[in-house]
């Protein structure tokens, strides 16, 4: 297992290119199953999760060709010869459940392994399944698999989500495009990744209104055609790298960054004393003056503060001036970075879904363990500001969501290197 060694090295300076969004790509890729014609994605990120989704789609009989160093994915699912998404692949990545809606909508049947939980929580898929039932599907859970059938095809229906779910909204939206009649998704997720998916589906011939609001209306069509679509910028990678100069000083321009993708996050940066300036090429971030101020954060569905930036913000608050309270409202166990930050000298008190962080002058480098994707990168950020050397182990978590992190940070002056493990 590889490790990454970070040594506190003072202010950063330069430009970091922001890639296409992992969480958009992971729902855009299954959309190829909705059409027999080719779907090509550009600006795709080079990540292990994308390789896992590629493997899953190929196991179903789709063709996926990665070109231009992984930034272009040419896909075609003209001949789907397998409608079973196997546990061995699904257990590696929860987003695998997103092949269920498209297969069910296109061919009227699908068998997908339940994903199982993960480090940050149980993460059930009951909202996905209820949405398909509202569209007339018959579902049976057997031996850890969901057996879904819609013999006469899905029918338009009203889906009311009891609480916001990004994945359930994406699965239902994809299924609704081929359902007979009109489907209304209420209390739908509003994330930019949903908007990106809707825009791609519309290029394929889908009739969708309301994406980005809490009510999405879909008029089913008989078939969808192929398309070419650029993956939207990754707002979580963007927010992560915006925190790099915030945590160790300097000024970094995040190329491709868009302020509309990180509104609530930027409000918190402003309150903490971090400057964010829109430039012709992206967003330029720097420390206005001296020590960062402590701010409180509560995670919410978009357009609120993203749960996927909570760990990274906690790393910043560890050396802020004052005490900050971080409330994690989306997942039940998303503070596993806290004990690792405490090993670096942070003063953090976790009770249930609330973490209280008292800022300390400086963190000290230490060997730490990555536990999940965003926790991993929060430890890298903390290492940038810490005195001495931080060794982050199990960085396979990191490679799921961050392409070439040591290259991107190294190019702006960080002392960071990857050490290949056994």
Toward ligand EPZ, which CB reaches closer, 397 or 408? 397
Toward ligand EPZ, which CB reaches closer, 306 or 345? 306
Selected catalytic residue, list 118, 200, 254, 266: 118
Check: CB of residue 372 under 8 Å from CB of residue 392: no
Binding site for ligand EPZ (CB under 6 A): 22-23, 26, 94-95, 121, 123-128, 165-168, 307-308, 330-331, 373-374, 401
Separation CA 282–CA 278 (nearest Å): 6
Check: CB of residue 305 under 8 Å from CB of residue 297: yes
SS3 152: coil
Check: CB of residue 237 under 8 Å from CB of residue 192: no
Toward ligand EPZ, which CB reaches closer, 50 or 386? 50
Residue 241 CB, nearest distance to ligand EPZ (Å)? 15
Burial classification of residue 386, based on how many CB atoms lie within 10 Å of its CB (0-12 exposed, 13-18 middle, 19 or more buried) = buried
Residue 176 CB, nearest distance to ligand EPZ (Å)? 16
- ∠ CA 59-65-66, nearest 5°, is 115
Residue 273 CB, nearest distance to ligand EPZ (Å)? 27
DSSP 8-state secondary structure symbol assigned to residue 403: T
Separation CA 390–CA 380 (nearest Å): 8
Q: How far is CA 417 from CA 7, 248, 352, 376, in A?
A: 9, 17, 35, 15
Residue 413 CB, nearest distance to ligand EPZ (Å)? 27
Check: CB of residue 159 under 8 Å from CB of residue 135: yes
Residue 400 CB, nearest distance to ligand EPZ (Å)? 8
Residue 334 CB, nearest distance to ligand EPZ (Å)? 8
Residue 177 CB, nearest distance to ligand EPZ (Å)? 19
Give residue number: closest CB to ligand EPZ. 167
SS3 350: strand
Q: Would you tell me the crossing angle of helices 373-385 and 235-248 to the nearest 10 degrees?
A: 20
Toward ligand EPZ, which CB reaches closer, 75 or 164? 164
Toward ligand EPZ, which CB reaches closer, 275 or 298? 298
Residue 362 CB, nearest distance to ligand EPZ (Å)? 28
Task: Give the burial string for 198-236 (b: 16+ CB within 10 Å, else e).
Answer: bbbbbebbbebeebbeeebbbebeeebebbebbbbbbbb
Q: How far is CA 378 from CA 89, 274, 338, 374, 398, in A?
A: 27, 18, 10, 6, 10
Toward ligand EPZ, which CB reaches closer, 253 or 340? 340
Toward ligand EPZ, which CB reaches closer, 104 or 292? 104
For 161-249, where are the E strands, in sequence order?
182-186, 207-209, 215-219, 227-230
Active site residue 318: no
Q: How many CA atoms lie within 13 A of 344 on its CB side?
A: 39
Separation CA 416–CA 420 (nearest Å): 13
Toward ligand EPZ, which CB reaches closer, 241 or 413? 241
Residues of the chain by 3-state class (helix, strand, coil), percent to 5: 35, 30, 40
Check: CB of residue 5 under 8 Å from CB of residue 407: no
Positions marked active-site: 118
């Amino acid at each position: 297992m590889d490790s990454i060694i970070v040594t506190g090295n003072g202010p950063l300076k330069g430009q970091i290119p922001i890639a296409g969004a992992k969480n958009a790509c992971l729902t855009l890729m299954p959309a190829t199953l909705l059409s027999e014609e080719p779907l090509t994605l550009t600006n795709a990120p080079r990540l292990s999760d994308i390789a896992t989704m590629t493997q899953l789609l190929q196991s179903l009989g789709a063709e996926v060709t990665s070109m231009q160093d992984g930034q272009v994915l040419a896909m075609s699912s003209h001949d789907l010869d397998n409608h079973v998404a196997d546990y061995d692949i699904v257990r590696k990545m929860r987003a695998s459940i997103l092949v269920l809606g498209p297969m069910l909508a296109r061919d009227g049947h699908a068998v997908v392994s339940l994903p199982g939980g993960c480090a940050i929580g149980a993460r059930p898929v009951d909202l996905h399944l209820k949405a398909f039932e509202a569209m007339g599907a018959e579902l049976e859970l057997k031996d850890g698999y969901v057996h879904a059938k819609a013999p006469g095809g899905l029918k338009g229906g009203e889906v009311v989500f009891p609480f916001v779910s990004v994945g359930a909204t994406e699965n239902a939206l994809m299924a609704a495009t081929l359902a007979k009649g009109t489907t209304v998704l209420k209390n739908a997720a509003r994330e930019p990744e949903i908007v990106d998916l809707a825009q791609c589906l519309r290029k394929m011939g889908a009739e969708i209104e309301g994406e980005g609001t809490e009510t999405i209306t879909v008029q089913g069509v008989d078939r969808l055609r192929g398309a070419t679509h650029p993956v939207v910028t990754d707002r979580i990678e963007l927010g992560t790298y915006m925190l790099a100069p915030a945590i160790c000083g300097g000024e970094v321009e995040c190329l491709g960054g868009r302020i509309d993708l990180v509104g609530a996050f930027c409000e918190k940066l402003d309150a903490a004393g971090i400057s964010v300036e829109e430039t012709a090429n992206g967003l330029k971030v720097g420390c206005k003056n001296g020590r960062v101020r402590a701010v409180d954060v509560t995670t919410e569905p978009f357009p609120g503060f993203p749960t996927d930036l909570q760990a990274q913000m906690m790393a910043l608050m560890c050396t802020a001036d004052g005490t900050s309270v971080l409330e994690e409202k989306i997942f039940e166990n998303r503070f596993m970075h806290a004990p690792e930050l405490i090993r670096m000298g942070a003063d953090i008190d976790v009770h249930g879904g609330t973490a209280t962080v008292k800022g300390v002058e400086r963190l000290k480098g230490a060997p730490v363990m990555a536990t999940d994707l965003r926790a991993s990168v929060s430890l890298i950020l903390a290492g940038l500001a810490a005195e001495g050397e931080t060794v982050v182990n199990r960085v396979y978590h990191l490679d799921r969501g961050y392409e070439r992190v040591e290259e991107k940070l190294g190019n702006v002056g960080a002392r960071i290197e990857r050490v290949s493990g056994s």
